[in-house]
Amino acid sequence: MLFDSHAHIGEQTDSAFIATASTEEMESASAYRYKALGIIPEGNEKDLDKLEAAAKDGWHIGEIGLDKRFEDLPHQEMIFREALRIAVRYDRVAVIHAVRTYGRTLEILEEEGIGKFIIHGFTGSYETAREVIKLGGMISLSPRAEMAKSFDKLITLPFLIETDMKAGKEEMDILSSWNERLSGKIGIDAGERSWKMIREVL
Ligand SMILES: [Zn+2]
């Protein structure tokens, strides 16, 4: 079973965890089996009601998080915390988008007491990755992770695999070659382990 731990709306599939960046995608995402509703980075208070309704209905929450490239980090933090509280309340997975904010993001995750979360597209340090795992979270690696300085050490830890692409044939081709590269390096089937890890929480 090759499963993409983080993809976006494209073709219909049960082999990917579909995340959204805005609540406007809710209708098109609703057809997927594994899905999360999110708001990054400029969601507002009104979106939180939609997140809550989705969580009640079985959706996971994400992408949510903090992104230094956008303005108003205090407002981003407020929305992020409220979204995490929804995930905690309904026992859903939070899919975290963090750009140049790993330290602050981890503080908030810890303060909000969330146990089920994925830092998607992880390119941080080995130490940060260990913190994530200590908090009960998972790191998810896309092919971009190969460019991270920490890559060789990161893959000694358990990780999910993802493409962050639109679901479809190209996405599955990329996922499959990414899995082959990783599996060759670590000597076990990375994709199979990833699926075992994520299916426990989805
Ligand atoms: Zn994404």
CA distance linking residue 128 with residue 134, whole number of Å: 10
Distance 164 CA to ligand 1 centre (A): 5
- Please tell me the least confidently modeled range out of 10-14, 69-73, 131-135, 195-199: 69-73
Distance 163 CA to ligand 1 centre (A): 8
Q: What's residue 43's pLDDT?
A: 76
Q: Which superfamily does 4-199 belong to? A: Metal-dependent hydrolases (3.20.20.140)
Helix, strand, coil share (%) of the chain residues, nearest 5: 45, 15, 35
Residues 6+ apart with CB under 8 A from 156: 186
pTM over the 0.85 mark: yes
Q: What's residue 41's pLDDT?
A: 75
Distance 63 CA to ligand 1 centre (A): 7
pLDDT tens column, 156-169: 999 999 999 999 99
Query: Given a cut of 90, is residue 5 above it in pLDDT?
Result: yes
Query: Given a cut of 80, is residue 42 above it in pLDDT?
Result: no
CA distance linking residue 141 with residue 39, whole number of Å: 21
Percentage of residues in the chain having pLDDT higher than 90: 94
- List the domain boundaries for the chain: 4-199
Distance 134 CA to ligand 1 centre (A): 23
CA distance linking residue 101 with residue 172, whole number of Å: 30
Q: What's residue 1's pLDDT?
A: 84
